[in-house]
Amino acid sequence: MSRNCQLYLPLREANRRKIGGNTVIQVAEPAQICDLTFQKTAKSAYLYNDSLGREFAIYPPRTKQSHSEVPCQLRICQDAIGPEDLTCDTKLKWLQHPADDWVADPKSIVKEWQGHFRFIQEDEKSGTVGLREPQIGAIHATAAHWTLRSNPVTVVMPTGTGKTETMLSLLVYAQCPRLLVVVPSDALRSQLFTKFQSLGCLRKIQAIPHGIPNPCTGLLKRGIHDEQEARDFANCCNVIVATASILNSCDEASRKALAGECTHLFVDEAHHLGAKTWQHIKDLFEEKHVVQFTATPFRRDGKRFSGKLVYNYPLGRAQKAGYFKYVDLCPVDEIDEAASDRKIAERTIAKLREDLEKTLDHLVLARVKNISDVENVVSIYNEIAPEFNAIGIHSQVSQTEKLKCLEKLENRKSRILVCVDMFGEGFDLPNLKIAAMHEIHRSLPITLQFVGRFTRKASSVGDASVVVNVANPSVDKELQALYAEDANWNELLRRQSESKIEEEVRLQELIDSFEGTLPDELPLWNLRPTMSALMFTAEEAKWQPEKLLEVLPSTEVQWHAINPSEKIIVVVFAKKDDVKWGRYKDIRDWTWHLIVANWNDELGLLFLHASNYGVLNTRRAACAIIGDDAKLVNGLRVCRAFSNIERPMVKNLGASRTGTVRYTMYFGPDVSAGLSLIEKSEASLNNLFGWGYENGSRITQGCSFKKGKLWSVTGGTINDWQQWCCGVGSKVIDENIDENEITSGFLKPQELEARPRKVPVEVEWGEDILRSAEDRVIIRQGEDEFRLNEVDIVIDSHSDEGPYKFKIISPKSESVYNFQIGGSQGFSYSLIAGLEIEIKKSSGEFNSLADWCMRDPLLFMYADGAFSYNNFLVEAECQGEFDADSIETLDWATVDIKRESEGQDKRKDSIQYKMIENIWDDYDVIFNDDDSGEAADIIAIRRESNDQVTLCLVHCKYSLHDQIGARVDDFYQLCGQAQKCIKWKHGGMKALLEHMKSRHNKWRQQGYSRFRKGAYGDASKLEQLTRRSKLQFEVMVVLTCPRIMYQLLLESYPSHLSCIAVAEP
């Protein structure tokens, strides 16, 4: 009667060699747990069969071998036991194996593989084992490419679809004579070395018969510094597995010798090819077969690697097929970073227990930021759930200890592993199903790689879970949606992965369509033209790119590439020029130039770019490309490129006028003079350059009216350049845009010799500080240091004459400064009371306030909407008129009008308490932000029915006297607060939420909460909504004054009231 059992079969090596410090092994049988079926006992041996049909004879101790016909024979290495007592713990040793007769010659091994590979596709419904759909697709796509070309190819397969088995299959199917496999880490090197030794599961899925020999596999663990040793090592191998760092530790001659003996290169986790060290290895395989495997063919730093993308298996298809298991987000909402690790651990333990109760054999991998965090997080897990025996691994742990830790996971003596980044790439343990992200990955490529470790398909496991603190994580913009509390990771990961890969596919399709000599000399992937171009039109344009080559200047070297479908030509040429520092016949400078031209059929425009326009007769070039009637697009219409740019600020311009000085260049504040001349028709524009905001992003734009040149101070790929040209070109030819109105909308700084007769209502930090995160700016007042959100800067005197007086208020004291316009430098700052203020950003050095403001001047805002910085004034008119109907009258009978703040004890007789009570029913979240460094006295947020979010900032002002009077200074102060808080609209909810989080945590440590309604989690959810919907912004200003006072203000200062709501008793 047959019965099944599982036995642990020890490693059986067929051959082993050591060359220098590196080893070559041919494995006959890998160490593994094998399912065997007992047949019978005969001649003192227990006879078994395995799932591949192989026969095994297992002998008790001290018995003779008596079954020479049985290919696989082992002996029990412990007390005699019967077949019914054999288990995985039974120690066995090999006596005989079919591989004992294998040849050790790599060439002969490859011959043995010929004709033995079988393409059997997996079919779960019928129970057929075989290769997966993406594996078969990748093998055929790569092999098909190899029949035509030998240039590098890229294979994109999501984690879990079987990249390793695809490599193994290509090795055998294509009969690769000698393969080098490059990986990024020691862990992945060891894993792939083991896989290649036994050819993984290819026999189990019947892709190859069990009788063919395994490859001689070399493990490169030490650098080689002898060419002959490198050749000897390579010639003993079918496969060499190495890390990029070990290969680069070899001397150059040995590295070249090793690569020279190899016929194929496989690169795992190929996105690393953006690094120079990896590229150097790839360069050694020119004209050889190179396959680049990756799940993410893009990098956070934007660097790209060349290679035709021959196969791309979408993540969505992998999810549908079950190769990439679904991911369940388990959010934790904890704004206190000190408590975050414990909250994540508690949620993780709860999830692990829940899965184990469902008989799911799951393990946890907890990722932390630093080595120092490992021990702390391990102790937290062991305090909460000691039965799971959390263990930690980091780069300073020995290899022996790492192996012991992994063994504890594999035998389930531990179920929680805490590490830094060690097991991000290549670590393959299918039972890892719960990811506890104590530190999150901040970019899409790394996130996809990490999460992919948990989505692998295996038996006895369920879907993956990710535990993460969603309290406003700092991540790349493309990942923000992932960390929303209700995020669907399966859909978002699919959408973002496929979108990014599609970008790479579009760029590759563009590049692959180029023909000519250039692609053989330079990789077009790496071309980065600056965003600049001339534009030409033609009545009867004919695309004749080859004719450009006929009109180029005489050159020493010239390469070109033409894309017929996209109508793009790229030319790179070199000229020899005289050196500028002397006159020598034999010494010349080599200067390289780039020309790019693109004809856009839809716009009817030729875009022509040159890295140096001076070396090219551009009109002659345009006539050659599209015809003799090519006409330059120039004149005032190129100014239309500034259309739809909000708050444009001119940095410099050139103007021509009649008189002795025909051309003048204006820089910085001087541009106002140039713009004034233009508006008065006393001068005409020649060129213009400035910056502004388009679609919410800051951009730069320049144009030359006579030359017709358009430019921006950015660069990108050929695809990026083509899209940029299309964007500015469509504006320039739009006849609905009135170019005469564009310059009139520019903000114009005017230099001041004395202060303007204007009332300053607010002072604000300079642009550099405002654009920085609040926790990166440190204000030092005497010996005390404060973060930006703990400090206020306010106008101390609302007057239209004399020095500007302002205060910097910290939780401890006030520093009073005078700012004066005039003097030798044009302006000055002086401390008149309190302690000196110093400022630093990030890890920089402290600078005095006066020194800091030389490069990042304070902004003074005036009641009429103008603003100034140092000794320059910018007039900016207020838009719109105040609607008197927006004034709300409140009853202040129960309020002490001299008490503005409700404080931590929530004083009911305060103005702030009254206003919170007044808006209570209108908002979902109400936050008391009162104190130095506030965004407002009250922050209120609500969700609208259309899923938009409304943010309201409420400013209150108390009375200095028991009786209410006409207080114009208070009015000015509130106008300033209204203007000042506009920065939170442009800064976005994310920055405001960080501000609220920091200030709330300080109160929380004292046992108080700044949240008057709702909690941080509610505010976080609303902030997440603003990532995909428009933010509506409101400002409410509360001033206690009599109706006659606000009527006087309304009549006298109507434009100043555009953001003010006045309340009275």
373 half-sphere exposure, CB direction, 13 A CA radius = 18
Both structure tokens of 445: 């490529």
The gap from C-alpha 434 to its chain's centroid, in whole angstroms, comes to 23
- Are residues 461 and 541 both part of a single domain? no
The pLDDT score that the predictor gives to residue 963 is: 56
- Are residues 346 and 217 both part of a single domain? no
**Helices 718-732/489-512 angle, 10° precision:** 90
- Higher pLDDT among residues 262 and 695, named by residue: 262
Asked whether residue 740 is domain-assigned, the answer is yes
The pLDDT score that the predictor gives to residue 53 is: 85
The pLDDT score that the predictor gives to residue 886 is: 66
Confidence of residue 545 (pLDDT cuts 50, 70, 90): very high
For residue 393, give the amino acid letter.
Answer: I
Task: Please spell the DSSP secondary structure of 29-98, one letter per residue.
Answer: E-SEEEEEEEEEEETTEEEEEETT--EEEEEPTT-----TT-SEEEEE-SS---GGG--TT--EEEEE-G
For 651-665, write each residue's pLDDT tens digit: 776 654 443 344 444
pLDDT reading at 61 higher than 80: yes
Tell me if 88 sits within 8 A of 6, measured CB to CB: yes
Region 948-969 average pLDDT: 70
Region 79-87 average pLDDT: 81
pLDDT reading at 83 higher than 60: yes
Both structure tokens of 70: 């049985």
pLDDT reading at 993 higher than 80: yes
- Are residues 353 and 281 both part of a single domain? no
**CA distances (Å), origin 367, targets 188, 393, 412, 617, 1050:** 18, 10, 19, 59, 59
Adjacent-strand bridge partners of 582? none
Where residue 695 falls (left for φ over 0; alpha for ψ -120 to 50; beta otherwise) is left
Confidence of residue 481 (pLDDT cuts 50, 70, 90): low
Tell me if 709 sits within 8 A of 613, measured CB to CB: yes
Strand-pair category, 432-437 with 363-367: parallel
Domain end marker among 609, 632, 655: 632
Asked whether residue 811 is domain-assigned, the answer is yes
691: number of Cβ within 10 Å: 18
Confidence of residue 666 (pLDDT cuts 50, 70, 90): very low
- Are residues 947 and 870 both part of a single domain? no
Q: What is the rounded distance in angstroms from the CA atom of residue 408 to the CA atom of residue 688?
A: 68
- Which stretch of 5-14, 130-139, 140-149, 986-995 has the lowest confidence by average pLDDT? 986-995
- Which stretch of 370-374, 534-538, 590-594, 741-745 has the lowest confidence by average pLDDT? 741-745
For 357-372, write each residue's pLDDT tens digit: 999 999 999 989 888 8
Tell me if 362 sits within 8 A of 461, measured CB to CB: yes
For 203-253, write each residue's pLDDT tens digit: 989 999 988 999 999 999 999 999 999 999 999 999 999 999 999 999 999
Domain end marker among 292, 313, 334: 313
Which runs of consecutive H residues, i.e. helices, occur in 391-443? 399-410
Backbone angles phi, psi at 166, to 5 degrees: -65, -40
Both structure tokens of 926: 């109400």
CA nearest neighbour of 263 among 286, 294, 296, 232: 286
The pLDDT score that the predictor gives to residue 747 is: 58
The pLDDT score that the predictor gives to residue 848 is: 93
Asked whether residue 980 is domain-assigned, the answer is yes
Q: What's the maximum distance between 2 C-alpha atoms anywhere in the chain?
A: 118
Both structure tokens of 131: 């290769």
The pLDDT score that the predictor gives to residue 1 is: 47
**Backbone Cα Rg of the chain:** 36
Tell me if 927 sits within 8 A of 1012, measured CB to CB: yes
Q: What is the rounded distance in angstroms from the CA atom of residue 440 to the CA atom of residue 331?
A: 13
Q: What is the rounded distance in angstroms from the CA atom of residue 419 to the CA atom of residue 416?
A: 10
CATH assignment at residue 486: 3.40.50.300
- Which stretch of 22-26, 291-295, 302-306, 533-537 has the lowest confidence by average pLDDT? 302-306
- Are residues 909 and 943 both part of a single domain? yes
Confidence of residue 721 (pLDDT cuts 50, 70, 90): very high
Q: What is the rounded distance in angstroms from the CA atom of residue 332 to the CA atom of residue 438?
A: 11
For residue 862, give the amino acid letter.
Answer: Y
Asked whether residue 507 is domain-assigned, the answer is no
- Higher pLDDT among residues 186 and 585, named by residue: 186
Asked whether residue 513 is domain-assigned, the answer is no
Is the CA virtual torsion 784, 785, 790, 794 positive or negative?
positive
pLDDT reading at 698 higher than 70: yes
Query: Which contiguous run of DSSP H or E holds residue 594?
Result: strand 588-600
DSSP annotation of 856: S
Tell me if 267 sits within 8 A of 278, measured CB to CB: yes
Both structure tokens of 389: 């025996």
Q: What is the rounded distance in angstroms from the CA atom of residue 1030 to the CA atom of residue 892?
A: 35
Asked whether residue 375 is domain-assigned, the answer is yes
The pLDDT score that the predictor gives to residue 667 is: 46
- Mean per-residue pLDDT of the chain: 82
- Are residues 124 and 206 both part of a single domain? yes
User: How many structural domains does the chain have?
Assistant: 7
The pLDDT score that the predictor gives to residue 1052 is: 53
Both structure tokens of 722: 């083509």
Confidence of residue 12 (pLDDT cuts 50, 70, 90): very high
Asked whether residue 521 is domain-assigned, the answer is no
Determine the 3-state secondary structure of 1023 from DSSP: helix
pLDDT reading at 416 higher than 70: yes
Residues 6+ apart with CB under 8 A from 523: 306
Region 873-898 average pLDDT: 70
CA nearest neighbour of 48 among 36, 59, 60: 36
CA nearest neighbour of 152 among 277, 296, 308: 308
The pLDDT score that the predictor gives to residue 346 is: 95
Four-point Cα dihedral 332, 337, 343, 347, nearest 10:
40
Tell me if 396 sits within 8 A of 384, measured CB to CB: no
Query: Which contiguous run of DSSP H or E holds residue 1013?
Result: strand 1011-1013
Confidence of residue 143 (pLDDT cuts 50, 70, 90): very high
Task: Please spell the DSSP secondary structure of 737-797, one letter per residue.
Answer: S-HHHHGGGSB-EEE-SS--S--EEEEE--HHHHTS-GGGEEEEETTEEEEGGG-EEEES-
Backbone angles phi, psi at 929, to 5 degrees: -105, 10
Query: In the chain, what percentage of residues exceed pLDDT 70?
Result: 81
- CB burial readout 626-652, b (16+ within 10 A) else e: bbeebbbbbeebbbbbbbebeebebeb
Query: In the chain, what percentage of residues exceed pLDDT 90?
Result: 38
State the residue range of the domain holding 336: 319-502
- Are residues 979 and 1035 both part of a single domain? yes
- Are residues 156 and 304 both part of a single domain? yes
Determine the 3-state secondary structure of 564 from DSSP: coil
Domain end marker among 632, 661, 683: 632
Backbone angles phi, psi at 835, to 5 degrees: -95, 150
Q: What is the rounded distance in angstroms from the CA atom of residue 2 to the CA atom of residue 39?
A: 5
Q: What is the rounded distance in angstroms from the CA atom of residue 621 to the CA atom of residue 627?
A: 10
- Which stretch of 185-189, 676-680, 938-942 has the lowest confidence by average pLDDT? 676-680
- Are residues 282 and 383 both part of a single domain? no
- Are residues 820 and 838 both part of a single domain? yes
pLDDT reading at 422 higher than 70: no
The pLDDT score that the predictor gives to residue 680 is: 43
The pLDDT score that the predictor gives to residue 254 is: 95
- Are residues 182 and 262 both part of a single domain? yes
For 747-797, write each residue's pLDDT tens digit: 566 778 889 988 888 888 887 787 787 778 999 999 999 988 889 898 888
Where residue 127 falls (left for φ over 0; alpha for ψ -120 to 50; beta otherwise) is left
Q: What is the rounded distance in angstroms from the CA atom of residue 914 to the CA atom of residue 891?
A: 9
The pLDDT score that the predictor gives to residue 527 is: 84
Tell me if 50 sits within 8 A of 105, measured CB to CB: no
The gap from C-alpha 836 to its chain's centroid, in whole angstroms, comes to 40
Q: What is the rounded distance in angstroms from the CA atom of residue 929 to the CA atom of residue 996?
A: 8
The pLDDT score that the predictor gives to residue 888 is: 72
Asked whether residue 89 is domain-assigned, the answer is yes
Q: What is the rounded distance in angstroms from the CA atom of residue 1056 to the CA atom of residue 1051?
A: 10
- Are residues 437 and 460 both part of a single domain? yes
pLDDT reading at 675 higher than 90: no
- Higher pLDDT among residues 543 and 580, named by residue: 543
581: number of Cβ within 10 Å: 8
The pLDDT score that the predictor gives to residue 1040 is: 47
Q: What is the rounded distance in angstroms from the CA atom of residue 991 to the CA atom of residue 472?
A: 10
